[in-house]
């Protein structure tokens, strides 16, 4: 087997063009792609999650993309285990790995730069799932606030996915469990380069508006209606706004404006997270991103 070059971690804000850049780089580097997006992992949601297109997946093999049932809860610890399994399999084929996505928590966990805490046992998860089926997000957020005010203050009351995960951890009594050493790239001594592809603010705003228009013209509202409000994946940016539109609470023009606003805010939060990301190499806005990354890797 030939020597495997360092793994490439490619990140950046939503709508910055990471997916196409990763495919082009993978073709140049003889690599396969692993997703690092907490919503693109779900199948049946390609429009709202801006998942890699079928054409892109034909050009380069993709892993941990559009594979999980949208009604299944998933954690960063689960992601790390699945990603490492995929990395080992790709390396065994003599291929290079590109991990691409904008979920900073997944990337930091994969590198081993964050404490994931203990895994949740099945009994706690089953109880929370029963409550989730019976109550709305406001009730669940209030329940979390009573038990863990600090954690509740960090989660929006509309984010059912993270509220659910926090409740599961709370009920499992995580504070009394022994600390577990989680697997990571660092633990397995897998070398990597972590790169933030930056985009000019005006260009990113234009890309976001184009993405929202593409989503709305290609059946996003119908996709949201089919998935439903109770799916863990339905807390992704755009879906709560679509549910409000379906409930008659806004016009189509207002839906577009709210989706654009929410996506821009999400991109801003991503940039804030990335500024504190350890071991991160920044590639500033440039005309030829492929050449810039290849030069960095040479």
**Last residue of one domain, picked from the residues 176, 191, 222:** 176
Query: Does residue 26 form part of some domain?
Result: yes
Task: State the chain's mean pLDDT as an integer.
Answer: 90
Per-residue pLDDT reduced to its tens digit, 172-225: 664 444 446 689 999 999 999 999 999 999 999 999 999 999 999 999 999 999
Mean pLDDT of 4-31: 96
Query: Does residue 282 form part of some domain?
Result: yes
> 187 and 170 in one domain?
no
Per-residue pLDDT reduced to its tens digit, 44-97: 999 999 999 999 999 999 999 999 999 888 888 899 999 999 999 999 999 999
Query: What per-residue confidence (pLDDT) applies to 106?
Result: 95
Q: Is the pLDDT of residue 34 over 50?
A: yes
> 81 and 190 in one domain?
yes
Query: What per-residue confidence (pLDDT) applies to 122?
Result: 63
Q: Is the pLDDT of residue 25 over 80?
A: yes
Instruction: For residue 170, give its domain range.
Output: 122-176
Q: In angstroms, how far is the first alpha carbon of the chain from the final one?
A: 21
> 187 and 85 in one domain?
yes
> 166 and 141 in one domain?
yes
Percent of the chain with pLDDT over 70: 93
Q: Is the pLDDT of residue 100 over 80?
A: yes
Query: Does residue 61 form part of some domain?
Result: yes
Query: What per-residue confidence (pLDDT) applies to 53?
Result: 96
Mean pLDDT of 118-146: 75
**Last residue of one domain, picked from the residues 161, 176, 191:** 176
Choice between 138 and 85, residue whose per-residue pLDDT is larger: 85
- Residue 9 β-bridge partners: 99, 194
Separation between Cα atoms, residue 156 and residue 297, nearest integer Å = 39
As to burial, measured by CB atoms within 10 angstroms (0-12 exposed, 13-18 middle, 19+ buried), residue 210 is: exposed
Total domain count, the chain: 2
| Tokens 């941990």 found at | 64
**Last residue of one domain, picked from the residues 176, 203, 220:** 176
Q: Is the pLDDT of residue 243 over 60?
A: yes
Contact 21/10 with Cβ under 8 angstroms?
yes
Query: What per-residue confidence (pLDDT) applies to 5?
Result: 85
> 110 and 128 in one domain?
no
Q: What is the CATH number of the domain that holds 79?
A: 3.40.50.300
> 290 and 212 in one domain?
yes
- Residue 100 β-bridge partners: 10, 35
Whether the pTM exceeds 0.75: the reply is yes
Q: At what angle do helices 122-134 and 160-171 cross, to 10 degrees?
A: 140
Query: Does residue 2 form part of some domain?
Result: no
Choice between 163 and 290, residue whose per-residue pLDDT is larger: 290
> 198 and 59 in one domain?
yes
| Tokens 């005006």 found at | 202
Separation between Cα atoms, residue 229 and residue 13, nearest integer Å = 25
Query: What per-residue confidence (pLDDT) applies to 19?
Result: 96
- How would you label 278-289 residue by residue, b for 16+ Cβ within 10 Å and e otherwise? eeeeebeeeeeb
Per-residue pLDDT reduced to its tens digit, 249-268: 999 999 999 999 999 999 99
In this structure, how many other beta carbons lie within 10 angstroms of the beta carbon of residue 69?
Answer: 12
> 33 and 104 in one domain?
yes
Query: What per-residue confidence (pLDDT) applies to 123?
Result: 67
Q: Is the dihedral of CA 106, 108, 112, 113 positive or negative?
A: negative
Contact 182/79 with Cβ under 8 angstroms?
no
> 283 and 138 in one domain?
no
């Amino acid at each position: 087997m030939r020597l495997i070059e360092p793994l490439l971690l490619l990140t950046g804000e939503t709508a910055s063009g990471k997916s196409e850049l990763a495919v082009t780089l993978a073709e140049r580097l003889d690599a396969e792609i692993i997703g690092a997006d907490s919503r693109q992992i779900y199948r049946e949601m390609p429009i709202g999650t801006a998942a890699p297109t079928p054409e892109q997946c034909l050009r380069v093999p993709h892993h941990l993309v559009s594979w999980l049932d949208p009604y299944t809860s998933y954690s960063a610890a689960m992601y790390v285990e699945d990603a490492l399994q995929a990395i080992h399999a790709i390396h065994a084929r003599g291929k290079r790995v590109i991990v691409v996505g904008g979920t900073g928590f997944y990337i930091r966990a994969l590198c081993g730069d964050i404490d994931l805490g203990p895994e949740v046992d099945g009994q706690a998860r089953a109880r929370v799932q029963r409550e989730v089926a019976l109550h709305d997000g406001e009730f669940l957020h209030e329940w979390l606030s009573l038990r863990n005010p600090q954690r509740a203050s960090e989660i929006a009351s509309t984010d059912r996915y993270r509220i659910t995960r926090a409740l599961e951890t709370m009920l499992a009594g995580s504070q009394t469990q022994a600390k577990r050493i989680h697997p990571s790239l660092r633990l397995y001594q897998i070398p990597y380069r972590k790169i933030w592809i930056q985009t000019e603010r005006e260009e990113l705003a234009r890309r976001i508006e184009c993405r929202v228009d593409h989503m709305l013209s290609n059946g996003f509202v119908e996709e949201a209606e089919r998935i439903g409000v109770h799916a863990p994946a339905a807390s992704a940016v755009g879906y709560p706004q679509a549910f409000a539109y379906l409930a008659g609470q806004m016009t189509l023009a207002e839906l577009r404006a709210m989706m654009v606003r929410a996506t821009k805010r999400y991109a801003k939060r991503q940039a804030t997270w990335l500024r504190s990301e350890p071991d991160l190499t920044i590639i500033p806005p440039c005309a030829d991103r492929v050449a810039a990354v290849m030069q960095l890797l040479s």
